[in-house]
Amino acid sequence: MKKLNALFLSILLTHCGMAQQEKQKDMAEMINDTRALRSLMQSDPHRPVYHFVAPEGHAMPFDPNGGIYWKGKYHLGYIYQKLRDGKMEHVWGHAVSTDLFHWTLYPDMLNIKDGDMEQGIFSGGAFLSKEGVPHIMYHGQGASANLVAYSTDDDLKVWKKFEGNPVLKTPAADDPFGNSGKYTAWDPEGWYDKKAGWYYQISGGKTPALFKSKDMYKWEHIGRLLDSTKSWLYASEDVSCPDFFSIGNKSMLLFISHNIGAQYFIGRFANDRYAIEQHGRMNWPGGTFFAPEQLQDDNGRNIIWGWVLERKPETFPDYGWSGIMSLPRVLSLAKNGALQINPPEEVKAIRLNEVQENNMVLEANAEQTLKTKGKSIELKIEMIGGDTAPYGVKVFCSPDGKEETAIIYDPLKKQLVINFIKSSVKGPVKMPSHAMFGAPVDGFPEKVSEQRAPFELEKDETLQLDIFLDRSIIEVFANGRQCVTQVVYPELENSTNVKVFSGSEKVTVKKAQSWTMAETNAY
């Protein structure tokens, strides 16, 4: 008997040792694969170095979601795709920062487990409950339902799904976009109104609807969110990825239409009604600013991020990744009620190697190369031009002039323009006019070579541009009143020059200040 026990113990120890060896082998292979993927991703000449990018490889969609400032940290969820039991699922990753630019990766914010009613986690936002507990309201893909989860720890690493789920179901006769005209459970936004003592829920789609509840278990359908007698949007547009928040003394609805991209309403919310006073867009045909997410920090700043859709040519190599987040943007209202858009003050911390030039005069139809060079830089420039001729800045310029992207102020058309027809040596470059899904944008050709945003200088106002370049991303902030995002793919290694140019009128460059930007993507 003792011999049998000894033999059994020997076999068991051998088996355990083999199992341990197999485990260590699997771990080593996983580490090698991770390092190989990281090396592949970082070899991409178009992968941004100071914009937040998808850390897990390819991410499509890559919507920012669940943004919340909690106990000194900025928490941002993002959709990515995870393989589980042979199926690809949409889940939320979780990134945390104290300065808006350097990010630590946490465990997934929202995931799928056996027994869950949803098959994937789609868009949604974070809010505080009546008791001050962080909650998330999101759309459950495959369940035709909006759902809620709440945090159970101060680090927000653990989220538990709400016992009262689902908090909204699509009526049986409806479809995912609510085309029957009633409402749909789709891309929700939730919040608690302390003054009113109600929870509110916006559910998006073709007919965005408003609901309220005392306890998040039972929801009353108030009706349409938008006044159906007013035509703010094209007929082809929907309201998805909504964020609803206070800005100044008003309320802002930030959202997308899938075919055009990010936009907003500003108005007043009272007595369960939203009275819209102004409408504006954050993306125009040819652009890719999409699925924005908002949070408010301890300084009362409304900060947003957007997913920047990529337009890489199919002929480009696959470097094993996709998914880019815009820079954080700070939104506020001017005294006249106009929306202000600015980069956060924290950007100063990643500036390196300042270059400055002052008081340059360009005669008509001239251009001048600046001292600054690079593909990941910030350029702050102040210019004075005429009233009739376009002028501006050219970036990603090759010395031979074969590659360049022009950032233009057009005083006659009152527009800020990014012209990317020569952004690649293999041009002329054209990109889809629509952001995602469906036909071209109403009234626009299928493809365009420039993005045009409304913008007008006031009398005696200088043009003040804050331009961020990051390998394949251009973000242009103009006088704190407009921001345009564009993807481009310069192919020449030496397309690092920056130029200023004039049209048929003289232009003065009062100040050109630039920095190379520190790399913040440590993955």
pLDDT digit string, tens, across residues 258-284: 999 999 999 999 999 999 999 999 999
Please, which pLDDT band fits residue 226 given cuts at 50, 70 and 90? Answer: very high
Q: Work out the mean pLDDT of the chain and round it to a whole number.
A: 93
CATH 2.60.120.560 residue spans of the chain: 347-517
The contacts found for 264-268 with CB under 8 angstroms, 24 or more apart, are: 264/339, 265/226, 265/232, 266/333, 266/337, 266/339
H helices within 66-183, ranges in order?
Answer: none
Cβ atoms of 482 and 281 closer than 8 Å: no
pTM of the full predicted structure?
0.94
DSSP strand E in 363-434: where?
367-373, 376-384, 391-397, 405-410, 415-419, 431-432
Task: Report the range of poorest mean pLDDT among 24-38, 143-157, 479-493.
Answer: 24-38
pLDDT of residue 8: 53
pLDDT in the model for residue 175: 55
Give the per-residue pLDDT at 523. 73
Residues 149, 162 contacting (CB under 8 angstroms): yes
Angle (nearest 5°) at CA 206 between 200 and 211: 15
Q: Kindly tell me if the per-residue pLDDT of 406 is higher than 60.
A: yes
Total Cβ atoms within 10 A of residue 279: 14
Tell me, rounded to whole angstroms, the distance of Cα 196 from its chain centroid: 31
Residue 7's pLDDT is: 53
- pLDDT band at 364; cut points 50, 70, 90: very high
- 30 pLDDT above the threshold of 90: no
Give the confidence band of 460 by pLDDT, cuts at 50, 70, 90.
Answer: very high
Encoded tokens for 227: 């006044």
Higher pLDDT residue, 15 or 74? Answer: 74
How confident is the model at residue 1, as a pLDDT? 54
119 strand-pairing partners: none
Average pLDDT value for residue range 323-345: 97
* Band (439; pLDDT cuts 50, 70, 90): low
Cβ-contact 487, 494 below 8 angstroms: no
pLDDT at 327 over 60: yes
| Least confident range of 100-109, 118-127, 130-139, 438-447 | 438-447
Q: Which of 56, 73, 161 is nearest to 109 (CA)?
A: 161
What is 111-342's CATH superfamily?
Answer: Glycosyl hydrolase domain; family 43 (2.115.10.20)
**CATH class of the region 347-517:** mainly beta
Q: Which of 80-84, 389-393, 405-409 has the lowest mean pLDDT?
A: 80-84
Q: Report the DSSP beta bridge partners of residue 124.
A: 138
Q: How do residues 498-508 score in pLDDT, each as one tens digit?
A: 999 999 999 99
Q: Residue 350 above 90 pLDDT?
A: yes
Q: Residue 173's pLDDT is what?
A: 59
- What's the pLDDT at 127? 98
pLDDT band at 16 (very low <50, low <70, confident <90, very high): low
% of the chain residues with pLDDT over 90: 84
Kindly state the average pLDDT of the residues 148-160.
97
Strands, E assignment, 429-472: 431-432, 447-448, 450-454, 463-470
* Distance set, CA 374 to CA 31, 49, 87, 163, 469 (Å): 33, 12, 42, 53, 8
Which is higher by pLDDT, 73 or 522? 73
For residue range 83-93, list pLDDT tens digits in order: 988 899 999 99
Provide the pLDDT for residue 33.
85
Domain with CATH 2.115.10.20 in the chain: 111-342
Name the residue with higher pLDDT: 171 or 25: 171
Which pLDDT value is given to residue 447? 94
Q: Is-contact 182 203, C-beta < 8 A?
A: no
